[in-house]
Each structure stands twice: as structure tokens, then as C-alpha cells.
Amino acid sequence: MRLPLVNSQSTKIINNKSLLHKLGYSVVLLLLIPFIILVSLELFYTGNIHSVTAWIINYSKEFILSYIVTFALANIFYIFPRKIYLIISSIIFTLFSILGFVSRQKLINKGSPLVPSDLLLAKEALEISEAFKGVTAAVALIIFASICIIFLIIKFIPAAKYKCSRKIAVFSLSALLLFFLYTYFGQIQRVFALELINYSQAMNYDQNGMMLGFILEAKNQKISSPSDYQQDTINNIVQNNKASYTINPDFKPNIIFVMSEAFWDPTLMKNVTFNQDPIPFFHSLQKSQTSGTMLSAVYGGGTANTEFEALTGFSTQFLPAGTIAYSQYINRPIEALPTVLKSQGYSAAAIHTYDNWFYGRNSVYKSFGFDKFISKEFLNSPKFHGNYISDIELTNQILKEVNNTNKPDFIYAVSMEDHGPYGTSENPDNTIKTQASNLTPESQAILNNYANTINDVDKSLQQLIEGLQKSNQPTLVVFYGDHLPLLGDNYSVYKDADFITDANSYEDYLNLHSVPFVTWNNFGLETTSNLRLSANYMGTLALEMTQKSGSPMTDFLSNLMKDDSDTIIDPVYQSQEKINLDQISKYKDLQYDLLFGNEFTYEFTPNHTPKTNDNYIQGSALPSITGATISGDELTVHGENFVENDKIYIYDKEIKTTYNGTTTLTAVVPKNTENKKISIQLKLSDSMNKIISQSNIYSIN
């Protein structure tokens, strides 16, 4: 029997539908696979789908750019046959999932996510992996799941006809996207208005997503070695730069640094007067003690960079513009002032009246060799001035540390009271008023609010000095601001007061980066006024004033100071300072060696090699449980070193806790613990829900 012929037009329509179906399938595959890979990365990092969904909705442009990157990265392999493409996609999916998971574990355990420098340092990576509970099993599970997916692809996905023109088109598009992303990422960053949040990598990833956050961080971290960096160069620098001042190993005065947030002298504005002196005590110290001007590398923010320079002697002017050294470059032990002074019998404490995790101080201080870090979480019912903890609290904590230790103290204290913004509406409680016809009402309100805040800071400084006088211990205090305050948008107050013109000249740069500093001592040092040095020389100055030995870096800086080469400023204006290019070259070589390089310095000075700081704690002292009793349903815990934010945990679950003093806490016993052995521990969590202090475990029947 002869079959009827199929209509050729019908066959054509059927074939076209089949082609469209296949084409639609391919397009869906091309679009869906990168989406799955990107979502898997974010899901493993954040730990829940709700956070991923919220990120996609709230930060849509960051998501779109992340998707474009993932699309290009995955589909550049589309040039291969379908099975190979799917297998490679599965491998990328696996790697991204593992990176997201490891980053989350690092965030949970260390307070910050995975950053590029973690991948570059094998030792750091090993340290991270050892800290993760169950990480090996979880990674193995991800890999096993990936292997299963690859097996299913090989077994059940049919081979597809190789469409050369389509694959070349997709490959070319992906390659072109990767080329533009790599070559013009800076321009793309500006177009998408991407923001690298330097002060917190966790927040950086929350906003940009892990992929873009990681890329932004990698772009900002790239440091090239100096052209003449080699072992002989470092040896020559170290051997020819011994300390240029006298050292007295038997004299060990307390050394206290107070870096006061945004502290500056507004009376330096010649066209503005005040009805009374905003900082009378500071001015009195300027007249009677060694004082001068400190050049800060930052304006209006970037506190941690000034701190980094003062503690290490390194200069942020040798790092990429806009970087925050604490968050990006501290990934190994550094010989900073705490390490230097501890080797000479000092105790070393850092105090800060703000969150411990900000700028990564909680981990940086460990790398610098501090014994302890007392942050706001450990302060009991602190007094606030405006939005921030009062500097009186900082003063009280400094005096407490000085009086409670039996060693000479090195203390680095960082305040917060004077942190902006200062408000365009005047505080009705202001008593100090500006008198200037050239200020707008908004500028005048900002300046009045600022002047009254620093007046309170000045009183705190006076209380500190008076308290140290009573302690009768030989002490040096170095007091300075981290940077000028951010007074209005676009320098508005400074411009209104004719303090600067347009912030583009050498003179304007100096005005916006010059912070007055004072010292105080009670052991009869000769005074020097009108000193001028950048923040990276502050530690060397303190060592010289107290006749303490330093590090290879501070020894090098002491020789620069001897030659009056004691200012490192923006490279644009550096030629107008005294330091010459040869000195700068040596400085860069030494800094690179200690911060990024092979640490040749310590081969020539092995006694200066910094070691892992295993005894570092957060808080003044770890809490200790010495006893516990139950009366009815009330649990009373006895011990020492308790603070207000300590919480009682039973069977590793937090219960509502009442603070009764440094030796007693109480809580209501959960009902399901009756007639059972109870395991008790104290823990203290910060605002990121990370445990930063905990006691011994105590059991009662």
C-alpha cells in the first residue's frame, strides 16, 4: 500500500518548530547555568535563600554585573561539545560552592569572609582550614554531589550535534565580555557606582555579593614589588640604619597613645573666632610640653590608616590610593610597637570605645602583638555623648589598666566621641559659639557643634593627665587626632572660613591633613615645640623620647628624622618635602619586605622576628567561673572578671542573664534541667553575633 505524501509546507513548519524548540532549549541553558552558579556561590556564603533573594532585590545592579561576569566565565566553555560544557559548568559550580562555604566558615570563625590574600598565602589558608569545624566533610559532600552530577551528565545527557557557528558566537561574546571586564573594570565600576566598603569585608560582600566584593578587593590589593627589591638591598638598609638616639634599657616609663577621633584645633582658622577657647587644656599642654603638627594621610575618615602608620612605621602613601591597610594587608604577624615594647618587659593593651570588628581591629591587634583588646562590648553601662561613648569612659579605662598592671604599660587608645556628622542644626546646649560673618547658618551650626564636642574631649584629656599625675608612675602620653573632621559637604565649612580654596593645591593639602599633637610626661624631658612629622613617625618619636629600642623600621625612621626627612605625604606633593628619592626608595623596599615580601630583614635581625600571638584575648581579662548554686529556679554564678554583656549558657544555649557585678551573675534555670547535671559557660557576643570572649566550662549536679 502506498502511503500518502506529507505536505512539504507542513514538514517545513514542523522542522521550524523543532529548530525553535532546540534553540530555545540552548538559550535557556546558556542563561540558566550562570544563574545557578552565581546563586550557589551566594547561597553557600550567606547560608540561606532569603538573604540571596534580598540581595538580588535590594542590590540589583550589583547582581546584574555579577551575573554578566558569571555568564562570561561559564559560557566561554560553550565552544566545547555539550557534555564537556556541562561537565565544566559542574566543576565551576563545585568550586564556587566550596568558595562560598569556606568564606562563610571564615566569617563565622574569624569575623571576616574569604579575601584574595587568603588564597595567596598557603600558611594562612592552612590556618583557616584548621579552624573550621566539619569543613572537610562539607567540602567532600559538595565534591561528591558534583561527581554524581557529572556522572548523570555522562550517562544520560545525549550528545548534541555540534553547531559550530552558534558555539563560536557564544564563545566570542563571552571572551569579549571577559576582555572588557578585565581591561575596563575601573570604568565599569564607576558606571555601576560600585562601592568597595574597606572598613568591613563582611559588609562589602553583603552589598556587592561575594563575587563582586572579591573582585573589588582583589583589584584594590594588588601590590608590585619594587624594581630593586632583593636580599642584598635589604641587608644594606638594615646594617646602615641603627637607632640614631640613646637607649636606656633600665628606664621603662608607661607609654600611652591616645588617638582622638577627628580631634583638631578650629582656632587655626584665622577668619573665625570663638567666644571662648574650645580646647584650653590642649593649648596649655602645647605651651609646656613637646608638641607639633602631625601630617595625616587621610581626611575626614580612614581612621585605621593613621593608626596603622603610628603603630608600625609603615606609610600608606606607598599603598594603592583608597586602601585600608588593616582590612586588606595584615595577614601575618607584624613587628609593631606592641611587639617591640613587650620584648622589653611591657604589657600591651589596645582600647577602643566602638565595635571590636570595625576595620578588622580584633584580628589586626593580634597580629601586632597586643596582649588584649578592650572594646565597647566590655564596658559596663558606658556614658554616651551624643551617638557615641564619651571619652571620659576611655580615660577611665586607661587609668584602670595603668593602675591594675604590675608591668610598665604600652596602651594604644582610640576614641569615638568626636565622630561626625556634626549636624546642620545647632545643639541648644552649646555654650561655645563662633563669631564669623562669612559663615553660612549651616556652616556656623556645624562648627559650633564640633567646637562644643571637642571641648568635652579636652576635659577628658585633662582628667587623664590629672589621673596619671596621681598614679605617680613615670609616663609619656602622646595625644593626637586621626584626621581633620568632615565639616560639611565638599569642604563647605573650610571654604566658607577661607581656610582652603579648592583642596587642589599643596597649601590646601597641608591645611586639610595637618593635625596638631601634644605630648605629656612627668619625668623631666626637655620640651620641643613646632615639631612636624607624618603619622608614620609617631611611634619612633615615642621610642626616642623614652629611650627604648625599636624595630628595624623605627631605627630606619629615626635616621630619616635625624636628617629632617620626617614627612611622607601624597606623592603628588612629596617633591616639596625634604625627603629625597633615594630615601623614599629605601623606605619602600624595607616596607615591602616586612609587609608583603620575603622578610629578609629578619634574616639579618632574627631577634626581631614576630611570632604568632597565642595569648591574645579580647577584654581586660577572661571571665572565670569559680562556683554556681541553684536556689529554687534561680541560678547564681560566681567568679571574676564578669562584664555586663556576659551571658550564661546552659548546654550551649543562651539564657536570660542578670549582671550583678564583676563577680556575680544570675539567671532563671530552664525547666528541663531539673535533677540533671548542668554544664555552664559564660560567653560574650558582639553586634555581628560572633563570640569574642568566653569562660571556662563549669558543671554542677
Q: What pLDDT is stored for residue 9 in this prediction?
A: 52
Q: What is the pLDDT of residues 576-598, one digit of tens each?
A: 999 999 999 999 999 999 999 99
Q: 205 and 341: one domain?
A: no
Q: 294 and 355: one domain?
A: yes
Answer yes or no: is 70 within a domain: yes
CATH of the domain at 356: 3.40.720.10
Of 573, 608, 643, the residue at which a domain comes to its end is 608
Query: Does position 413 have pLDDT exceeding 60, yes or no?
Result: yes
d(CA 479, CA 388): 19
Q: Is the dihedral of CA 240, 245, 247, 251 positive or negative?
A: negative
Instruction: Determine the distance from the C-alpha atom of residue 70 to the mean position of all C-alpha atoms in its chain, rounded to a whole number.
Output: 28
Q: 136 and 215: one domain?
A: yes
Q: What pLDDT is stored for residue 409 in this prediction?
A: 98
- Amino acid letter, residue 278: P
Q: Whole domain around residue 370: which residue ranges? A: 251-608
Answer yes or no: is 232 within a domain: no
pLDDT band at 682 (very low <50, low <70, confident <90, very high): very high
113 phi and psi, to 5 degrees?
A: -80, 180
* β 291-295/388-389 pair status: unpaired
Find the mean pLDDT for residues 258-284: 96
Find the mean pLDDT for residues 42-47: 91
Q: 603 and 625: one domain?
A: no
Q: What pLDDT is stored for residue 565 in this prediction?
A: 95
Q: 639 and 695: one domain?
A: yes
Of 608, 637, 663, the residue at which a domain comes to its end is 608
Q: 328 and 199: one domain?
A: no
**pTM metric for this prediction:** 0.80
CA angle, 531 as apex, 416 and 483 as ends, to 5°? 25
What burial class does residue 123 get, using C-beta atoms within 10 Å of its C-beta: 0-12 exposed, 13-18 middle, 19+ buried? exposed
- Quick check: helix, strand or coil at residue 92? helix
Residue 71 CB neighbour total at 10 angstroms: 22
- Quick check: helix, strand or coil at residue 666? strand
Residues, the chain, total?
Answer: 701
pLDDT band at 289 (very low <50, low <70, confident <90, very high): very high
Residue 456 CB neighbour total at 10 angstroms: 16
Q: What pLDDT is stored for residue 124 in this prediction?
A: 34
Q: 296 and 182: one domain?
A: no
Answer yes or no: is 597 within a domain: yes
Q: 397 and 501: one domain?
A: yes
Of 608, 629, 645, the residue at which a domain comes to its end is 608
C-alpha cell at 391: 571619652
- Quick check: helix, strand or coil at residue 652? coil
CATH of the domain at 684: 2.60.40.10
pLDDT band at 20 (very low <50, low <70, confident <90, very high): very low
- Structural domain count of the chain: 3
Answer yes or no: is 449 within a domain: yes
Q: 279 and 414: one domain?
A: yes
Q: What pLDDT is stored for residue 518 in this prediction?
A: 98
Q: 491 and 542: one domain?
A: yes
Q: Any residues with CB less than 8 A from the CB of 316 and at least 6 apart, and which?
A: 297, 298, 305, 308, 309, 323, 325
pLDDT band at 157 (very low <50, low <70, confident <90, very high): low
d(CA 268, CA 610): 42
Q: 565 and 653: one domain?
A: no
What burial class does residue 598 get, using C-beta atoms within 10 Å of its C-beta: 0-12 exposed, 13-18 middle, 19+ buried? middle
**CA nearest neighbour of 103 among 47, 145, 54, 57:** 47
- Quick check: helix, strand or coil at residue 182? helix
Answer yes or no: is 105 within a domain: yes
Q: Which residue has the cell 589596645?
A: 350
C-alpha cell at 412: 594604644
Query: Does position 10 have pLDDT exceeding 80, yes or no?
Result: no
Answer yes or no: is 163 within a domain: yes
Answer yes or no: is 245 within a domain: no
d(CA 107, CA 101): 10
Answer yes or no: is 142 within a domain: yes
Q: 306 and 412: one domain?
A: yes
Q: What pLDDT is stored for residue 158 in this prediction?
A: 65
318 phi and psi, to 5 degrees?
A: -95, 5
C-alpha cell at 477: 602620653
pLDDT band at 390 (very low <50, low <70, confident <90, very high): very high
pLDDT band at 5 (very low <50, low <70, confident <90, very high): very low
